[in-house]
Amino acid sequence: MNSKEEKMGLAGSIASAFVRSKITPLLVLGSLFLGLFSVWLLPREEEPQISVPMFDIMVPFPGAQAREVDERLASLGQRKLLEIPGVEYVYSTADANLAFFTVRFKVGFNQEQATTLLYSKVTANADFFPTGAGQPLIKPRSIDDVPVLALTFHGKDAGALDLRRFAASAREEISSIPDISETALIGGHKRQFLVRFEPEKLSARRLTPLQLAAVIGGSNRNLPAGRTEGSDKGILVETDSFIRSIGDLKSTIVGVWDGRPVRLGDVARVSDAQDEAQSDALFYGRAGEPEQAVTLTVAKRKGANATVVASNVLERLENLRPSAGQAGIEWTVTRNYGETAKEKSDELLFHMLLATVSVTVLIALALGIREALVVFVAVPVTLGLTLLVYYLFGYTLNRITLFALIFSIGILVDDAIVVVENIHRHCTLDPECPKWKAALRAVDEVGNPTILATLAVIAAILPMAFVSGMMGPYMMPIPVGASAAMLLSLAVAFIVSPWLFSLILHRWPGKHGHCKRPVQSVADRVYIALMKKLFSSRAAMFASLGVTAGLVLLSGWLFASRRVQAKMLPFDNKNEFQVILNMPEDSSYEQTRKAIDELARIARSIPETVNVQSYSGAAAPYNFNGLVRHYFLRGRPWQADLQVNLLPRHERKRQSHEIASAARPLFQEAAARYGARLQVAEVPPGPPVLATLVLEVYNEDDAARDALALDLKKLLAATPGIVDVDSYMPGPQPQATLAVDRQKATLNGISSDELVRTAYVALSGAEAGIAHASGEHESVDINLRLPAEERASLDWLKRVTLYSQAGVPLKLSELVKRTDGEAAPPVYRKNLQKTTYVTADVSGELESPVYAIAELRGKVEELAASKGIKIKQYYARQPDLGQGETALKWDGEWQVTYEVFRDMGVSFMVVLLLIYGLVVGWFGSFITPLIIMVPIPLTLIGVLPGHWLMGSFFTATSMIGFIAGAGIVVRNSIILVDFIELRLKEGASLEDACIDAGLARFRPMLLTAAAVVVAGAVILFDPIFQGLAISLIGGAIASTILSRTSVPALYWLANKNRLQGGRK
């Protein structure tokens, strides 16, 4: 080697070590193998895992009213729970007989550590529980609790009992499948032994309901008695009195009257039937009458492959197909997130391959087939190693990780393009030079600026990893994957590209020698003339820069005028949505069923609907959205859910959001006839929230707070574009209170406990034990209760008889006094402060909560002023109020939107500082970095008009594309400025150096932009990542065209006085 080659820099030294090494092809093959291995091992999921430790704590407080529960339990519990390190929010609901807490730790907090801290705190403070409070039940909640599979069993002639029994056998069949964490049955009715006592018959035999319960429980026993020891062997002995059949139960002797035994069948209607739970599930096909249904849900373990789990379950269930056919039962898969995850990942893997092939074809057309072959190898090698990084870091294969790779292709190919294009140029300059030497010279020449440019792109992308809130870990794979891909692509460009390109040129030199000299194009001649005009005319120079600045300002006007709207994430295109129905609290269960049936028939009439399931008095299978909103707790008689399943997205023209929005007025019209409230709940494209719009009203005065919340609810309902308005204030629910006459009861030797428990058994029923029947997959309870027709009113109080110690019969109505009123509403707190929640959604022209809040905040001030209330509005932090103060906290999607754009804005500032520092360190100048970074705003000329033309929201993914585009712009600018200074060192004039840079470096810049456009086009029509694609494509096109003139022009302006005579 000559002296020049011996003094190569880092890039040239790396290339020199591998350009003729036998290990290089092994590295290529090994990288490809590791990539395929990682694809095979990475678990597939539709959404990324978000670690947000969340716990529900339920503390029973029997007999306490809501206010007492709040004062004695909820307030104290909030104070103690907020002392736990890492806790961000504590929500509490104080209702009659129960305190309910939800504890949410900060995003990213370790789940196991959170569990330990919470259990330790609750256990250590058990002595603070008020007398009468029960033991707390703690339920951890995580995204892994969300069922990945739902199977709905139904049949035209199958009853609810038979369906439930078959579904239970199916659950048992699949229970041994690995990686299943939890299964649940929704709908149907279990088998029960019903004991419906008749008050008159009990009274005639001087028996009470509680005596029946005690006798049934005492008669249903089996215990080991011990073991006999003989001379040669022993025998185990047990005593058995189990109730195994309905006959055993009917014949149970519950007392003696008039010298004769009284059997249970003498005083009660005893039957083997289905339970009387007020819950039901129905399956609606495309036509015909609805069918009774039971849904089996399956959740997977953490880190398990959803696709594999779902596939194994469906395969195992085929064993039950013959028996199901005989019973007239069939099942429909009404959710399969494993299938959708596989479909999405397969589609994105194909798009990744398509993007790679497209970029390769682009390089082939622009540089030649030989250069394209290098790119075709370099990109898969880089992607394979990046997939390995995902595997090692514990990521899953989901749409975010794969989109990160597709997004990266347009950027990472730049290293290969720059190196290959420069090798191509060196071959042109010295056709007789050996190809491997030409490759080393080319790599060494562009190596250092390529390293700097790559670090600049990483500096632009990596700060996005520090976005806080739930959106942070959701988008984390993008900065992690893209940064890893950039570093790996740099290594591949220095190790693989020179080796492969020199090998190809050696084996396949071409017909015209090694390389052909490029011919100056018409565009190049126009560029030269334009730049000479700018350099010779100060007016032309400043006019050009002024027009460019004007285009930037005009693009910004699109955002300011709301022609381009900001939103956290656009609406996704899912194959499902839900309808959440809340009837008036005093509605009967039958009325609820009637209302949900009408809504189900409306949903079935939607052309894109495949099937519908209704759940009355029970919660539908919940998704991540439902997990956060606690939809799984919906089980009251006035509550119902609708699950609407749509055609696959490739088989319909309308997106799911458009379908749901079009159906909402039909649903609302039907619900209004029943005085009901409803929400059309779509699967969110990102982290879920309580609602799109959440207004948290704070005031310690319950009446004042609820009155204001009611007024705000009316304000929202009257505002165009605001839909699905609701609140956490329940409607009036009549309540009859049976006040015990303690004096009379005590004088007669009857305890208040006996009175209270008798009333409970009569109305709600009591489980007197289980029947030990064989062949059942669920327990068969023995349920003691009044007959259904007796429970329609409180007249049974006059017929149920208790007995004094002296044996005097007393009707229950003689021992209690009835007073009618309304049930006390629950009390809500968030981080110790009392609050009332008002929720709503946004629909219409402005579907972003940002603009809804901007329109409403003034109206809220006016409303409060008209009521004589001084209100403080909070947008980003929790209120901290004094006594008597009123506050409104805007929450919901707005909170996530604010956090995302705030953190990304801060990230962008950090990006600018990092890039500035890198460039200052490289060029040794404080002015040159500013010239390099000035073109960053030029991307807006393509970004914002692109969103306007596509009718797309400017979203978090758009911001990611804009920030990444800033890195590409800086990369191009660095290459331009570095070449200018290289030419100046070679003795060129300032004007010639600036023009030569635009000529020599425009082709790799153009190829990079074209690669970004091609890679971005693959995801351009994805509903979530369209904004990212638009930002990348528009920004790359605008910045590439404009920076070719603006960077040399600015460099010339900044240095023309310093460089006398055009030279240093």
CATH of the domain at 1011: 1.20.1640.10
Same domain, 550 and 646: no
At 471 the pLDDT is 78
Q: What is the pLDDT of residue 1064?
A: 39
Q: Which residues contact 72 (CB under 8 A, 6 or more apart)?
A: 61, 64, 130, 133
* pLDDT for position 1063: 43
Long-range contacts formed by 121-124: CB under 8 A, 24+ apart: 121/80, 121/81, 121/83, 121/84, 122/57
In angstroms, the Cα distances linking 1046 to 312, 428, 524, 927, 982 are: 60, 28, 16, 15, 19
- Which SS3 state, helix, strand or coil, does residue 12 take? helix
In this structure, the answer to whether residues 557 and 581 fall within a common structural domain is: no
Reply yes or no on whether the pLDDT at 520 is more than 70.
no
794 secondary structure, DSSP code: S
- Whether residue 755 is contained in a domain is answered as no
**Do 464 and 546 share a domain, yes or no?**
no
pLDDT exceeds 70 at position 1059: no
With H, G, I as helix, E, B as strand and everything else as coil, classify residue 166.
helix
Shared domain for 674 and 548, answered yes or no, is no
CATH number at residue 651: 3.30.70.1430
pLDDT band at residue 511 under the 50/70/90 scheme: low
- Interval 679-696: pLDDT, tens: 999 988 777 788 889 999
Residue 235 lies in a domain: no
- My answer on whether 1060 and 983 are in the same domain is yes
What is the per-residue pLDDT for 957?
Answer: 85
The pLDDT tens digits of the residues spanning 577-629 come to 999 999 999 999 999 999 999 999 999 999 999 999 999 999 999 998 899 89
Q: Which two tokens stand for residue 26?
A: 């092994």
User: Considering the entire predicted model, what is its pTM?
Assistant: 0.86
Q: Which of 112, 141, 170 corresponds to the end of one domain? A: 141
CA dihedral 346, 351, 356, 357 (to 10 degrees): 100
Q: Tell whether the model's pLDDT for residue 421 goes beyond 90.
A: no
Q: Calculate mean pLDDT across residues 661-669.
A: 95
Do 886 and 869 meet the contact criterion of CB atoms below 8 Å apart? yes
Residue-level pLDDT at 781 = 94
623 and 670 both lie in a single domain: yes
Mean pLDDT of the region 473-487? 86
Q: What is the pLDDT of residues 756-795, one digit of tens each?
A: 999 999 999 999 999 998 888 999 999 999 999 999 899 9
Cβ contact 702:834 at 8 Å = yes
Distance separating alpha carbons of residues 1051 and 981, to the nearest angstrom: 10
Report the C-alpha gap between 540 and 545 in whole angstroms.
9
| pLDDT computed for residue 17 by the predictor | 85
On whether both 491 and 398 belong to a single domain, the answer is: yes
Q: Is residue 1016 part of a domain?
A: yes
> Is 90 exceeded by the pLDDT of residue 455?
no
Joined together, the tokens standing for residue 183 give 């299964």
Q: What's the pLDDT at 874?
A: 92
pLDDT tops 60 at residue 270: yes
Same domain, 34 and 60: no
534 and 422 belong to one structural domain: no
Residue 432: Cβ-neighbour burial (10 angstroms; 0-12, 13-18, 19+): exposed
Say yes or no: 471 and 596 in one domain.
no
Residues 975, 934 share a domain: yes
* pLDDT at residue 7, as a whole number: 67
Please say which residue of 636, 667, 683 terminates a domain. 683
Distance CA 530, CA 534 (A): 6
Do residue 494 and residue 422 come from a single domain?
yes
Residue type, 684: P
The last residue of one of the domains, among 105, 120, 141, is 141
* Phi and psi, residue 645, nearest 5°: -105, 130
Burial class (CB within 10 angstroms; exposed 0-12, middle 13-18, buried 19+) of 536: exposed
Q: What is the pLDDT of residue 503?
A: 81
666 lies in which domain range? 574-606+615-683
Domain membership flag for residue 907: no
Q: Please, how many CA atoms are within 13 Å of residue 763, restricted to the half-sphere of its CB? A: 13
**Burial code of 632-657, b = ≥16 C-beta within 10 A, e = fewer?**
bebebbbbbbbbbbbbebeebebbbb
| pLDDT at position 858 over 70 | yes
**Quick count: other Cβ atoms within 10 Å of Cβ 1002?**
20
Q: How many domains does the chain have?
A: 4
Q: pLDDT tens, 536-546?
A: 888 888 888 88
Quick check: is 1002 in a domain? yes
Pairing mode, strands 291-300 and 280-284: antiparallel
Residue 758 vs residues 61, 382, 788, 883: alpha-carbon distances, Å? 19, 73, 16, 44
User: Would you say residue 796 lies in a domain?
Assistant: no
pLDDT score recorded for residue 951: 87
809-845 pLDDT tens trace: 999 999 999 999 998 999 999 999 999 999 999 987 7
985, with CB counted inside 10 A (0-12, 13-18, 19+), is: exposed
In a domain, 666, yes or no: yes
Tell me, what amino acid is at 168? Answer: A
Residue with tokens 């694809």: 39
718 part of a folded domain: no
AA identity, residue 253: I
Residue of higher predicted confidence among 438 and 565: 565
